[in-house]
Amino acid sequence: MKKYVILFLLALAACGNTGDSQMSAGESPAETPQPWKPPVINLPTPALNSAELILGGVRHTLNQNASCQQGGTGIFLRPAGNPTPAIIILRPNFSANGEVFIETDQGWSMMFDETIAGASVNWGTLGCRAWAIGNEPGYFELQVADCPLQNHPMAPTRHSTVTFKLRCSK
């Protein structure tokens, strides 16, 4: 009987280790939850009450602070001396940590304003993940990577995504 138990245990051990594991030392299996980690965005950390934005492949510094506050008034940043492009985030929560979801009309909402052929065009989002990457006593920092934008009738194929980092003083 002992002989069969030992053979069974050896066979069981052989089945559990196929020898083709692709994990290196220190890695976890895929089913183990990984700690929250935002994507790496190739933008500098913005100054207080400003944002670094990539819209349509063009980088902009939004350093004209019309509003950078928590709640209903929200965040409204644009370039100095130019009304657009502008980022507008309504109902931000400066106590958030980690991942948040941004939509066009619910909870945190976000849109972008741009001048096209002399007219102001608002771009809404199709909903995207954002990361509160800095929540300190003196500032709140948020980043978004490749957030999909809604098409606009005036320029239906102009932009597909937006990426930015912003920092507001508390």
Beta bridge partners of residue 59, listed in sequence order: 54
Tokens representing 154 are 């005036």
pTM of the model: 0.71
User: Which DSSP state fits 60?
Assistant: E
Residue type, 39: P
Express each pLDDT in 100-145 by its tens digit.
888 766 678 888 888 777 777 777 787 888 999 988 999 999 999 9
**Where do the structural domains in the chain lie, given as residue ranges?**
50-169
- Distances from the Cα of 72 to the Cα of 118, 125, 129, 166, 167, angstroms: 29, 18, 20, 18, 17
pLDDT tens digits, 35-75: 567 778 889 999 999 999 998 788 999 999 889 988 877 99
- Sign for the pseudo-dihedral over CA of 40, 43, 45, 46: negative
